[in-house]
Copies of this chain bind each other. A is one copy, B any other.
Amino acid sequence: MGRRVGILTGGGDAPGLNAVIRAFVKRGAGQLGWDVVGIEDSFDGLMDRPRRVHHLTPVSCQGLLHRGGTILGTTNRGDPFAFPSADGPRDRRRDLVEGVKAEGLEGLVVIGGDGSQAIGLRVMEELGIPVIGVPKTIDNDLSATDLTFGFQSAVDVATDALDRLHTTAESHDRVMFLEVMGRDAGHIALHAGLAGGADVILLPEIPYDPHEVAEKVRRRKARGRPFSLIVVAEGALPAREDGSAVPHDQVKPRLKRGGGAAAIAMAQLEGLVDAEMRHTVLGHIQRGGSPVPFDRILATRFGVAAVDLVAEDRWGEMVRLQNGKVGGVPIREAIATYRLVDVHGEMMRTARAVGVEFGERG
């Protein structure tokens, strides 16, 4: 009763953000009678004058469950400790403290990735503004939580693209490269590749040998399958002699037409395989649109759990899912680790067992 809490979304958007906001408001404002204040564009809405904040009620959250994006807006540029400006990073801590005070907020709920959570932690520890975190990473690379919303939606978009490329690859006997999100961790590539029947998956975790990839393509052709589907995570790179990844800036110049990881991979294969090749970059399509039911439910659970953490004054904690149960973990602990694909784990074993290859050097 009488609580007044701010809520904001930071970093790249992910399907399910609105479902978190809706759940938080339905439970916090609708059932517990709190004042919930939506802050625009990460921390920005609190630092500007006039402030861009909105009183959120269950009525203002109608229809949000299946809507992509975030009604609060988001940005990667909302760091009050180092706010980007023409003259370099600017210190806007005072603006933030004043904003929180002027709005009478008891604390902030920060829905965001590891970057936003790290800022949230500093906001709490250095500025004394209580913060609760809700994890958001479409890449599912936060090890503190078993799953994050948005990931399954991204996998679905990527799998649908693979299903489509499959028929056209087969019709034309082509090698098709599909680049999906995943700069550091290849979870989306691995899951979508497995679900979409990819022949090769290139991951940031495994620098690949183009000759191994070419060999796989040739073996398929020899078996009467003259087409191949290759999923490439954004962060996948070819290997050097010692097995480490070729630095990105050394690969780029070798490309004819520039581009990202899929273009690089395709360029590496030219000359090694005798087949038409094409590449596609899914890009932001993976982020947008209505969340799949799985993510709507997970996001709703996270939103309700955030209310629980606030109600129990567990400031400094972040919502997380662990072994099927939603609970809290100290933000400090949550942002300390990162989950890469376990290259010896069961998912990888499964992939290999159905014939997927990863371009590993023999």
Chain A residues with a Cβ under 8 A of chain B:
9, 12-13, 17, 22-23, 26-27, 30-31, 41, 58-59, 65-70, 73-75, 146, 152, 155-157, 159-161, 163-173, 176, 191-192, 194-197, 224, 257-259, 278-285, 287-289, 292-294, 296-297, 300-301, 303-304, 307, 323-326, 346-347, 349-350, 353-355
Contacts and interface: CB of A to CB of B under 8 A. Distances in A.
A170 B192 CA distance: 26
Nearest to A324: B146
A165 B27 contact: no
The interface centre, meaning the residue of A27, A68, A70, A164 with most chain B CB atoms within 10 A of its CB, is A164
11 contacts: A69-B167, A69-B168, A73-B173, A159-B293, A164-B289, A168-B287, A168-B288, A280-B281, A280-B284, A280-B285, A300-B350
Say whether chain A's binding surface is mostly helix, strand, loop, or mixed.
Answer: helix
Given A164-B285, A257-B258, A284-B176, A346 B326 contact: yes
Contacts of A347: 301
Contact of A194 (B259, B282, B297): B297
Contacts of A194: 296-297, 300
Contacts of A157: 164
Number of copies: 4
A290 to B, nearest CB: 8
A122 B50 CA distance: 54
Contacts of A323: 323-324
A278 B288 CA distance: 13
B22 A354 contact: yes
A264 B3 CA distance: 43
B288 A166 contact: yes
A293 B258 contact: no
A325 B347 CA distance: 10
B353 A168 contact: no
Contacts of A12: 172
A74 to B, nearest CB: 5
A355 B30 contact: yes
A23 B303 CA distance: 36
B346 A325 contact: yes
Nearest to A256: B258
A350 B304 contact: yes
A354 B65 CA distance: 11
Given A13-B171, A152-B293, 8 more contacts: A26-B354, A41-B173, A74-B172, A152-B294, A168-B288, A191-B293, A195-B297, A280-B283
A41 B172 CA distance: 8
Nearest to A323: B323
Nearest to A168: B288
Given A282-B280, A353-B26, A353-B304, A289 B68 contact: no
A289 B167 contact: yes
Given A168-B68, A171-B69, A346-B325, A289 B163 contact: yes
